[in-house]
Amino acid sequence: MSDAFGGRVSRNTLMRLITLLPDPPSATPSMVGMDEYAQRKGRIYGTVLVDVKTRRLEDLLQNREAAPPCALAGRTARE
């Protein structure tokens, strides 16, 4: 990338420019895996949703109830 700028560019500048790039488009996952994680063991739990085929993180939910993942699945099926 420093060749594109015609000189030396710091690592921080490159990271700042990379974070400004838009996220790549993602397809609706056909298989979703769900697991829980502990933010504070015994007190605060959340749910992680992962695309099983691509192994990409889809979402982090702040609770472990069944309703939010089901609502998410219904929302993505209609889009």
The DSSP code sequence of the chain is: -HHHHTS---HHHHHHHHHHSPPPP-PPPSSEEEEEEEEETTTEEEEEEEETTTTEEEEEESS--SHHHHHHHHHHHH-
pLDDT top residue among 18 and 1: 18
What's the predicted TM-score (pTM) here? Answer: 0.51
Q: What is the pLDDT of residue 20?
A: 92
pLDDT digits (tens, 9 = 90+) for 21-71: 887 777 788 888 888 888 777 788 888 888 899 888 888 887 766 555 565
How far from chain centre, in Å, is Cα 76?
15
Q: What is the pLDDT of residue 26?
A: 72
What's the total number of domains in the chain? 1
78: tokens are: 């209609």
* C-beta of residue 34 within 8 angstroms of C-beta of residue 48: yes
Q: Which domain holds residue 42?
A: 2-78
